[in-house]
């Protein structure tokens, strides 16, 4: 039985569904199971008309947070306290650990000898070597990244501390896939393919026999862009937030879904859902997503930071994500004025800008979630688009519908408008 099928069975036993009553099931447990299913399944997604409204601008250069070397007792305690090492994801599911280990290894090799790494393809499989095949190469300390992997097919456990390899045949793409699937018999094994031609990492969560589930990942941290972050948030919105039936999690966002009364702390509810999804999602395997990071200017909702592949005490802060909710009603049913919603967006823009500066990030984004009845997420942010551009802050918005029927109607209208634009 596939892991996702096992999880689905567990979730069914717990009555975890878009329409069921989940009062006895803790939100944390529900979200962990849902997030894990997303990670394991990792299928391609289509949002048809559902994409966020987004305006994107780049910010300033990243500044690394470097710890001064030294071994005084104070410095040692600091290092131990802040050390995440290669094991900070040890509680993640095996596939996420596999992605993190291989991504960190490839980035080390890229820094040490980029020319050698790019000289040929290399493939990494989360599997033992198939029976009947004798390894031609063995690396007991692979993650130390002292030796180049180019031109080999590597086999190892999820943490890939050690690995064995067989030569990668000189052939075309189709023949290479056939070799993995038919000759080696590991087509269903999770795989990572470093494509030396395109200099990109291709991730196959369901194995190379399932190419439709593949996605591409930037290897260089310099390629962590707002577009990259936005695409992930789009996917999480479609899977977890857009309607109550998108998953079980949005039920926790509504005090009364029929009347469109959100919970008292709707922003915190969305933050918790996204945080668990970030941890479970494998798109950020070389990043650490930290929730409610403290700073001089206050607590930002999320900060995306990266650990140096060689120096575990050195971190680079890449991006700040600030969340805001606009709504028609409070949790008690009182009406929320349009001016209050506009002020919330304006305050969020100020916060994203200030947090980016205080945390030395190169990117910042304000993520607005429209829980009004009905949502109009484009209108929700239009009054700050010009200022967002001048502040170099990305301004994005997504709708959260209280009932599925409303989402279907809005989506149908959006698709029709797009078709009309093409023919007009």
Looking up tokens 């290894």 gives 105
* Cα 157 to the center of its chain, rounded Å: 23
Comparing C-alpha atoms, which of 374, 408, 403, 377 is closest to residue 256? 403
Exposed (0-12), middle (13-18) or buried (19+): which is 343, by Cβ within 10 Å? exposed
Q: Distance of CA 354 to CAs 57, 267, 364, 391, Å?
A: 16, 19, 9, 10
Residue 351: count of CB within 10 angstroms of its CB = 22
Q: How many residues does the chain have?
A: 424
| Terminal C-alpha separation, the chain | 51
Comparing C-alpha atoms, which of 86, 64, 63, 82 is closest to residue 74? 82
Sequential pLDDT tens for the chain (424 residues): 444 444 444 444 444 444 444 444 455 555 555 554 544 444 333 333 344 444 444 333 333 333 333 334 333 333 333 334 444 455 567 887 888 788 888 888 888 898 999 999 999 999 999 988 988 999 998 888 889 999 999 999 988 889 999 999 999 889 999 999 999 999 999 999 999 888 888 999 899 999 888 888 766 655 678 888 898 899 889 888 888 776 665 568 999 989 999 999 999 999 988 888 887 664 555 677 888 766 555 688 999 888 776 666 778 888 999 999 999 999 999 999 999 999 999 999 999 999 999 999 999 999 999 999 999 999 999 999 999 999 999 999 999 999 888 878 777 776 776 666 654 4
Determine the Cα–Cα distance for residues 82 and 78; give it in Å rounded to an integer: 6
Tokens of residue 112, six digits: 């040490």
Contact 191, 176 (CB under 8 A): no
Q: Domain residues of the chain, as ranges? A: 3-57+225-423, 89-221
What pLDDT was estimated at residue 80?
A: 30
């Amino acid at each position: 039985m596939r892991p996702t099928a096992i999880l689905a069975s567990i979730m069914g036993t717990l009555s975890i569904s878009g329409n069921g009553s989940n009062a006895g099931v803790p939100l944390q447990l529900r979200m962990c199971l849902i997030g894990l299913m997303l990670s394991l399944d990792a299928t391609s997604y289509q949002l048809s008309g559902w994409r966020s409204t987004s305006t994107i601008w780049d910010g300033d250069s990243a500044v690394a947070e470097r710890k001064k070397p030294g071994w005084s007792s104070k410095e040692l305690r600091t290092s131990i306290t802040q050390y995440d090492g290669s094991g900070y994801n040890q509680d993640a599911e095996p596939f996420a650990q596999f992605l993190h280990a291989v991504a960190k290894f490839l980035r080390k090799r890229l820094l040490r000898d980029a020319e050698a790494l790019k000289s040929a393809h290399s493939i990494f499989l989360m599997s033992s070597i198939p029976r009947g095949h004798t390894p031609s190469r063995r690396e007991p300390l692979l993650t130390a990244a002292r030796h180049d992997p180019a031109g080999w097919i590597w086999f190892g456990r999820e943490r890939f501390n050690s690995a064995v390899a067989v030569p990668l045949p000189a052939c075309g793409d189709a023949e290479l896939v056939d070799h993995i699937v038919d000759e080696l018999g590991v087509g269903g094994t999770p795989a990572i393919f470093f494509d030396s031609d395109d200099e990109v990492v291709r991730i196959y969560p369901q194995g190379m026999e399932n190419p439709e589930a593949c996605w591409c990942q930037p290897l260089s941290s310099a390629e962590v862009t707002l577009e990259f972050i936005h695409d992930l948030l789009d996917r999480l919105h479609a899977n977890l937030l857009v309607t109550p039936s998108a998953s079980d999690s949005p039920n926790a966002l509504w005090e009364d879904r029929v009347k469109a009364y959100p919970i008292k702390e709707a922003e915190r509810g969305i933050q918790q859902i996204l945080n668990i999804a970030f941890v479970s999602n494998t798109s950020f395997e070389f990043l650490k997503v930290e929730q409610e990071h403290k700073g001089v200017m206050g607590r930002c909702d999320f900060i995306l930071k990266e650990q140096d592949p060689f120096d575990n005490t050195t971190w680079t802060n890449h991006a700040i994500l600030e969340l805001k909710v606009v709504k028609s009603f409070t949790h008690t049913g009182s009406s929320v004025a349009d001016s209050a919603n506009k002020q919330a967006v304006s305050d969020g823009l100020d916060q994203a800008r200030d947090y980016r500066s205080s945390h030395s990030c190169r990117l910042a984004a304000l993520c607005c979630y429209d829980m009004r009845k009905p949502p109009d997420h484009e209108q929700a942010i239009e009054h700050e688009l010009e200022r967002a551009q001048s502040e170099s802050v990305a301004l994005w918005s997504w709708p959260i519908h209280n009932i599925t029927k409303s989402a279907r109607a809005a989506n149908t209208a959006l698709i029709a408008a797009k078709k009309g634009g093409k023919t007009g």
